[in-house]
C-alpha cells in the first residue's frame, strides 16, 4: 500500500510541477506584456484568470473567498492520494495522482493570487473552448485513465482484500 501511495504521489508531484512551471513561464516570460499569441489555426496563448470553479461557475460567490476553495481542493487532493494507495489498478492509481496534482496546482494559484491562471485557448471558426492550463490537462487525463480502468476487461477480477 505504501508503494502505491508513493507512485500516486510521484504522478501528483509531476503534474503539479509541470503546471506550476508552465504558469510561471506564461506569467513572467511569455506574457510580458499580456497579449494574444497565435500558435496554430486552432490554438492561441491568451492569459486569463478564473475566479470561479470550472468554466468560471460561481465566480461572484467565490471571488471573495479564494482560500476556501483552495482549502477544499487540498483536502480533496489528499483524499484522492489515499484512495490511490488502496488501488490495485495502475491506470486508476496514475489517474488519481494526476487529478490530485492538477487540483493542487490550481489550489496554489487560488491561494497565492485569488484566481487560477489560464492560458491555453483552443478555438474553431470563432468558437472558443474556455481557456485552460496544465493542471486542467492533468485532471482531464486522470479522469480519462479512471474511465479506462473502469471498463470491463478480459482479465480476471482482482481478489478481494482480507
Indicate which residues carry an active-site annotation. Answer: 118, 136
Dihedral over Cα of 44, 48, 54, 56: its sign:
negative
Q: How far apart are CA 119 and CA 132, in angstroms?
A: 6
Q: How far apart are CA 32 and CA 45, in angstroms?
A: 12
Backbone torsions φ then ψ of 149, nearest 5 degrees: -65, -25
Q: How far apart are CA 144 and CA 136, in angstroms?
A: 12
Location of C-alpha cell 479522469: 143
Edge-to-edge order in the sheet of strand 116-124: 36-40, 43-50, 116-124, 127-128
Q: How far apart are CA 48 and CA 113, in angstroms?
A: 12
Q: How far apart are CA 51 and CA 63, in angstroms?
A: 5
Amino acid at each position: 500500500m505504501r508503494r502505491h501511495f508513493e507512485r500516486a504521489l510521484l504522478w501528483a508531484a509531476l503534474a503539479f510541477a509541470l503546471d506550476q512551471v508552465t504558469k510561471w513561464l506564461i506569467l513572467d516570460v511569455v506574457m510580458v506584456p499580456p497579449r494574444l499569441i497565435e500558435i496554430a489555426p486552432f490554438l492561441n496563448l491568451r492569459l486569463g484568470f478564473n475566479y470561479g470553479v470550472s468554466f468560471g461557475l460561481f465566480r461572484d460567490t467565490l471571488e471573495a473567498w479564494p482560500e476556501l476553495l483552495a482549502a477544499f481542493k487540498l483536502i480533496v487532493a489528499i483524499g484522492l492520494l489515499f484512495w490511490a494507495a488502496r488501488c490495485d489498478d495502475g491506470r486508476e492509481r496514475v489517474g488519481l495522482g494526476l487529478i490530485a496534482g492538477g487540483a493542487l496546482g490550481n489550489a496554489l494559484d487560488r491561494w497565492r493570487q485569488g484566481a487560477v491562471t489560464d492560458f491555453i485557448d483552443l478555438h474553431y471558426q470563432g468558437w472558443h473552448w474556455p481557456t485552460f492550463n496544465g493542471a486542467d490537462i492533468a485532471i482531464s487525463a486522470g479522469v480519462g485513465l479512471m474511465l479506462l480502468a473502469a471498463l470491463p476487461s478480459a482479465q480476471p477480477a482482482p481478489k478481494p482484500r482480507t
